[in-house]
Amino acid sequence: MEKYSFTQPPHPYWLASTSDTDYPVLDRDVKVDVAIIGGGITGITCAYLLKKAGLSVAIIEADRLAQGATGHTTAKITSQHGLIYNKIKKQMGMEAAQQYADANEQAIREIAGIIEEKKIDCDFSHQTAYVYTERDDYVQEIETEAKLAQELGIEADVTTEIALPIKIKAAVSFDKQAQFHPRKYLLTLAKDIPDDNSYIFTQSRVVDIDDENNYLLKTAEGKKVAADKVIIASHYPCYNKAGLYFARLFPHRSYVLAVKTREAYPGGMYITAEEPGRSFRSLPTEEGEMIMIGGEHHKTGQGADTRQHYQNLAAYAQEVYPDAEIHYRWSTQDYLTPDQIPYAGYFLPSTPNLFLATGFRRWGMTNSMVSAMIIRDLIVSGESPWQNLYDPSRQTIAASSKTFIVENLNVANQLLKGKLSAAPADPTDADIETGEAKVIMIDGDKVGAYRDEQGTLHLVDTTCTHLGCELKWNAAEKSWDCPCHGSRFTYEGEIIEGPTVKPLKTGKEQID
């Protein structure tokens, strides 16, 4: 395999193989039963289930549908979320582990049921999922996980061989798991939403939630959606007035390659138990079958030059499949919670009409369905069998105080480091090469400077507009990323994702 060229920007197969949606911008005021902020898998699934339950809904999406984390996922639909069940049992008890298994197994069946009922052509296939180890010291953990999974009613087993060309020590398998093309699935589902007083609005960013009288969502263009109930499905909550979510959601990025090899893929979905994390699944495409290889996760805005992560993954792909040719590459981020269980339910105990779903820890295909089922049930009947486990205000967040403290020390550290680090003073334009970026000082201010292919220098204020951390350059994606809470911006200062709702200041005049 030739060393992969990074001259082309990263592009996920899911976006390359489907058309952009063109739902309207919110250009008037509307009133619905439930307003949903965000049109990823969480928002679309919530809207679909609630409309089916007889409520009028509106999705308000800042960009276009399913282009965020959902458009960059690996789309394994599984209740096997690493070696999660023993962790939950140890931390919260057997009943919690049972609920997590029941909820996520039910989610697989719900997704499969919708696909079957609506005959959605989305490359859905049932697969066996494996967590494997190449190390002796993980064998015991794998065996314990398999035994517990069986007790929880999952069709689990232990094996010492897998069909990939990798020599393993042990693996735990879960049967009747699945994979699909997330955008083919979601874009079909979304077609059922507009109509009968329900809407999808795109390119409409919610910048404020007024909670004085019921709820009034306001977009950047000044239009409003009035709603009895609101679901925040914006990945990171875009409502910062309460909840301290900035201190209990941690952004992690990871990377994906889609490669072609002569060797036929044996089937199955695989992930390592140990670090560095590696993940495999097949990818049926019009250009023939490919293999998706993922891994290299790290905290957003922290660590090495991000291009190195693609290089590491490419080197690993070649180690396993020496003739591997890379056809697509992409990366994205997801949010982790201190106890590894997502937040789905009431935003706060005191907000019976404001809901949240996030913190899926790279397992959002089933967890978004679980979240949507919980929130639908809370809205429609006032209770859900899984509401306590997923409750965003649960007590176990405090019990995971070690993770909480370590993560927040890391944020404080990033904040300080960013403020104290020196930047070169007034370098000439020639110091920044085409396609490269640097943080420079201009008249005492830190400014991020990126030189594009035409030689134009783009200047932005590198202070994050969310909570003021110093942004880091992400060379692989050509973006400015926040190492504290994961907001990301283009080199022109536009918002890509994260908690912020304000673009960066740009150009020397505005920065002054």
Ligand X SMILES: Cc1cc2nc3c(=O)[nH]c(=O)nc-3n(C[C@H](O)[C@H](O)[C@H](O)COP(=O)(O)OP(=O)(O)OC[C@H]3O[C@@H](n4cnc5c(N)ncnc54)[C@H](O)[C@@H]3O)c2cc1C
- The residue ranges that bind ligand X (CB under 6 A) are 37-43, 60-63, 67-70, 73-76, 205-206, 233-235, 238, 254, 256, 294, 332-334, 360, 362-366, 368, 501
Query: Do the Cβ atoms of 48 and 369 come closer than 8 Å?
Result: no
| DSSP H helices in 295-429 | 307-320, 364-381, 387-390, 396-399, 401-420
The residue (of 73 and 387) whose beta carbon lies closer to ligand X is 73
User: From the centroid of its chain, how far is CA 40?
Assistant: 9
Distance in Å, CB of 426 to ligand X, minimum: 36
Distance in Å, CB of 40 to ligand X, minimum: 2
Tokens matching residue 122: 């989305």
The residue (of 96 and 344) whose beta carbon lies closer to ligand X is 344
Residue 497 parent element (H or E)? strand 495-497
Per the DSSP assignment, residues forming a β-bridge with 225 are 30, 217
Distance in Å, CB of 493 to ligand X, minimum: 16
Rg (CA), the chain: 23
Nearest CA-CA partner of 51 in 179, 228, 190, 237: 190
Distance in Å, CB of 196 to ligand X, minimum: 22
The residue (of 318 and 368) whose beta carbon lies closer to ligand X is 368
The DSSP line for 391-415 is: -TT-THHHHTHHHHHHHHHHHHHHH
The residue (of 40 and 493) whose beta carbon lies closer to ligand X is 40
The residue (of 47 and 397) whose beta carbon lies closer to ligand X is 47
- CA angle, 401 as apex, 400 and 404 as ends, to 5°? 95
The residue (of 25 and 94) whose beta carbon lies closer to ligand X is 25
Query: Do the Cβ atoms of 412 and 470 come closer than 8 Å?
Result: no
Cα–Cα distance measured from residue 347 to residue 124, given in angstroms and rounded to the nearest whole number: 33
Distance in Å, CB of 182 to ligand X, minimum: 7
Distance in Å, CB of 500 to ligand X, minimum: 9
The residue (of 351 and 366) whose beta carbon lies closer to ligand X is 366
Antiparallel, parallel or unpaired: β 224-232 and 215-219: antiparallel
Distance in Å, CB of 33 to ligand X, minimum: 18
Distance in Å, CB of 65 to ligand X, minimum: 7
The residue (of 87 and 169) whose beta carbon lies closer to ligand X is 87
Distances (CA, A) of 350 to 140, 231, 377, 427: 44, 15, 18, 52
Distance in Å, CB of 439 to ligand X, minimum: 26
Query: Do the Cβ atoms of 254 and 331 come closer than 8 Å?
Result: yes
The residue (of 69 and 440) whose beta carbon lies closer to ligand X is 69
The residue (of 37 and 171) whose beta carbon lies closer to ligand X is 37
Q: Maximum distance among all alpha carbons in the chain?
A: 66
Query: Do the Cβ atoms of 158 and 146 come closer than 8 Å?
Result: yes
Distance in Å, CB of 385 to ligand X, minimum: 21
Cα–Cα distance measured from residue 204 to residue 411, given in angstroms and rounded to the nearest whole number: 30
Cα–Cα distance measured from residue 193 to residue 508, given in angstroms and rounded to the nearest whole number: 44
Tokens matching residue 97: 């582990």
The residue (of 40 and 418) whose beta carbon lies closer to ligand X is 40
Strands in 457-461's sheet, in edge-to-edge order, are 437-442, 445-451, 457-461
Distance in Å, CB of 151 to ligand X, minimum: 23
The DSSP line for 247-258 is: GS-EEEEEEEEE
Phi, then psi, of 315 in degrees rounded to 5: -65, -40
